[in-house]
């Protein structure tokens, strides 16, 4: 067995900061008339998508990447606000500047979220909890926005802690807390466990962190490959991943699995806008654009087919992503089987601002 350290030997101080309903909170900050009301940032057209929702809107079940029409059905009084991505980016830069006052070990996860390793801070007290409290106060004072913070000795638990008490929370998980937090945790909350893996775990009778912990590393590796070793250690509160300031996101994607297999490209084109909306919402949150578009389909026989196109300039809207994905579906796919899953991804990412139609000309795509 891998002789890794126990949680009691780990002394890092990791802080996870996540802004509260970032886009929507900025809009409520800048327009007092929106405060206390359900707000969605995004387009309210038939093909619009929610980029962010205020906490008032979330009480109705409205969330990011949701089609605007569905959001309106759930919350008839929902107020739609057109996004101002340049403003969000400016505020995101303010947050990062505050983070870097305390440490150079800042790993951004999105425009409004980051890990910080404050084991050896540049300024401030030698306490992760006190530094997190200072950062929260600095952000409130300088941006008039609240953030939630999680503090622990590893990234897994720091992220979990920041989600524990939102909005405006500060939660600390010590090594002594780790096992009692992880044991009852649904496996869906374990880092790296996606919906498909969770479904497989449920089929094996694995539903909680305790269930994972009761299995040997060999048993988990036999079921989940190399990830099984990660799950083994995470269920014991061991996560050695460093805070990496140089980490680069390679792609942003979304997938939709169908209840009934689709038989034709025309049927795929009908559901394509939904998948594209979800991708666009994620790109907006991460503050990125990309030059490449990938389309993936999973056939009824479980075969996966992907096609991609690299463009000379970044795509900057859902309209452009849908145009490229539609082109790929029409010209690069021959469906020998019905389709049970459609995925769209954007790669070759760079920092940039997504825009809204009708500010763009159509892309010029190859004839084949």
| Cα-only R_g, the chain | 22
- Using DSSP's 3-state secondary structure scheme, residue 54 falls into coil
Q: At what angle do helices 226-234 and 217-224 cross, to 10 degrees?
A: 140
Tokens of 92: 């995101």
- Show the beta-strand stretches assigned E in the chain: 14-19, 39-42, 50-53, 79-81, 106-110, 113-117, 147-152, 170-172, 251-262, 288-299, 304-315, 339-351
d(CA 266, CA 330): 9
d(CA 16, CA 94): 16
Catalytic residues, which ones?
Answer: 113
Which among 275, 278, 294, 295 is positioned nearest to 286, based on CA atoms? 278
d(CA 131, CA 84): 31
Which among 188, 185, 183, 189 is positioned nearest to 201, based on CA atoms? 188
């Amino acid at each position: 067995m891998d002789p890794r350290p126990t949680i009691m030997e780990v002394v890092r101080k990791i802080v996870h900061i996540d802004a509260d309903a970032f886009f929507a909170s900025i809009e409520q900050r800048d327009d007092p008339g929106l405060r206390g009301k359900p707000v969605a940032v995004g387009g309210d057209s038939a093909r619009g998508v929610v980029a962010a929702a205020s906490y008032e809107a979330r009480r109705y079940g409205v969330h990011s990447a949701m089609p605007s029409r569905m959001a309106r059905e759930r919350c008839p009084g929902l107020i739609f606000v057109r996004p101002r991505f340049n403003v969000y980016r400016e505020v995101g830069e303010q947050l990062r500047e505050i983070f870097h006052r305390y440490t150079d070990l800042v790993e951004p996860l999105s425009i409004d979220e980051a890990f910080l390793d404050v084991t050896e801070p540049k300024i401030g007290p030698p306490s992760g909890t006190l530094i997190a409290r200072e950062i929260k106060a600095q952000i409130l004072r300088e941006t008039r926005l609240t953030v939630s913070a999680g503090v622990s000795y590893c990234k897994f638990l720091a992220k979990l802690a920041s989600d524990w008490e939102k909005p405006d929370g500060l939660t600390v998980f010590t090594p002594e807390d780790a096992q009692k937090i992880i044991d009852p945790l649904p496996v869906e909350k374990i880092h790296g466990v996606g919906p498909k893996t969770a479904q497989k775990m449920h089929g094996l009778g694995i539903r909680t962190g305790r269930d994972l912990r009761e299995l040997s590393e060999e048993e988990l590796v036999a079921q989940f490959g190399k990830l099984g070793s990660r799950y083994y250690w995470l269920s014991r509160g061991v996560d050695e991943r460093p805070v990496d300031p140089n980490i680069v996101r390679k792609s942003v994607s979304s997938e939709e699995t169908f209840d009934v297999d689709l038989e034709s490209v025309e049927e795929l084109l009908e559901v394509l806008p939904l998948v594209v909306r979800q991708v666009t919402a994620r790109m907006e949150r991460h503050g990125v654009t990309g030059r490449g578009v990938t389309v993936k389909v999973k056939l009824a026989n479980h075969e996966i087919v992907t096609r991609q196109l690299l463009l000379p300039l970044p795509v900057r809207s859902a309209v452009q992503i849908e145009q490229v994905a539609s082109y790929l579906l029409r010209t690069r796919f021959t469906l020998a089987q019905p389709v049970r899953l459609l995925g769209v991804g954007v790669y070759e990412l760079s920092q940039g601002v997504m825009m809204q139609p009708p500010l763009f000309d159509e892309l010029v795509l190859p004839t084949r």
